Amino acid sequence: MSIKLKSLLKESRVRLREDETTDTLKDTLTTGSYEAFVAQLGDAVKDPKVKAVLAAGEEDGQPADEKITLTDGDIDVTALQPTQNEIALDKSLTYPLTDVKSAESCLKGGTVAIAGKRIITAEGSYIVDGHHRWSQLYAMNKDAKIAVTDMVSKDLKDPLDFLKITQVAIAADLGEVPTQTAKGSINLITISKDQLKKFVKTTITPDVMKIFVKYGKVKVNRSKDAENLSARNLEQAANYIWSNVESMQKTSKPVAGAPKRDFMPQTDDAKNWEKLAAAGSLIIKNHLQHQNRLTKHVGVKSRT
């Protein structure tokens, strides 16, 4: 184990004594699952010395092109794939079905920044943080684009490694790993047609119904019927949203090994996470390279 530890420290260019701090970091990096990684990272980063290690990658002397890059842009909402296997129905759809500005922002199309925020993606394909904003837009308008900050690395391609990078950056910034949960809500990823339609019909407000009519998602015979929550209007609105959710369930399935909501990165309060993501990228990359060498030369299987 000492050879493995010294190799990791040498590659990361982190000058620390081989004490309990390095043992803690080693155990976190080599843990067997993403969920265990998050739990152990949350405990480990309470130690200021571990927090310092996680942030140290910025001064590692590595060429800039070996680190992660983050670029603002937009992506078709249908082109993205979840990296979590739970998306709470109420957190996704309550707001756009009850708030006029939110509904109009989604239904008018183009590039949409839900609540004025970009979601975090990786390699132009995977959602890292912002699943509920993504699913909100998808359910309301699957033809729209969503505003993103996209993470790219020439070395890392596994979506779960990008989750790890982000968690390391958050931990280095906040000294903790914040979590949220989707417990107590119906999962939009697996919701049935009847469940979804019932939610829409009992949640949508008259003012939002007018927005559905304005953008042609609900057809009415007379303009004065635009805000009418009649059975006919409710059925149209519910069918429209179900068609989008059904598409999401069929073509935007979670990635292999996608964790529960409880283990996902929460970047909102980590103001410096983007700057620190380079350190997270380096740490994860060096760990993977070390594991690959062990597998190739020593015959030890990687647990990543």
Question: What are the pLDDT digits (tens) for 173-186?
Answer: 888 988 877 666 89
Of all residues in the chain, what percent carry a pLDDT higher than 90?
52
Within 8 A by CB and 6+ apart from 15, the residues are 9
Q: Given a cut of 50, is residue 72 above it in pLDDT?
A: yes
Task: Give dist(CA 143, CA 151) in Å, integer.
Answer: 23
Is the pLDDT at 209 greater than 70? The verdict is: yes
Look up residue 210 and give its two tokens: 């007018």
Per-residue pLDDT of 130-171, as tens digits, reads: 999 999 999 999 999 999 999 998 878 889 989 988 988 898
| Whether the Cβ atoms of residue 75 and residue 129 lie closer than 8 Å to each other | no
Question: Quick one: pLDDT at residue 138?
Answer: 98
pLDDT band (50, 70, 90) for residue 21: low
Question: Please, is 28 exposed, middle or buried when counting C-beta atoms within 10 Å of its C-beta (0-12, 13-18, 19+)?
Answer: buried
What average pLDDT does range 70-77 have in this prediction? Answer: 97
| Poorest-pLDDT segment among 153-162, 195-204, 293-302 | 293-302
Identify the pLDDT of residue 5.
42
On whether the CB atoms of residues 194 and 187 are closer than 8 A, the answer is no
Q: How confident is the model at residue 15 (pLDDT cuts 50, 70, 90)?
A: very low
Element (H, E) at 136: helix 131-140
**β pairing state of 126-129 and 119-122:** antiparallel
- Predicted TM-score (pTM) of this structure: 0.82
> In the predicted model, what is the mean pLDDT of the chain?
83
Q: What is the pLDDT of residue 169?
A: 87
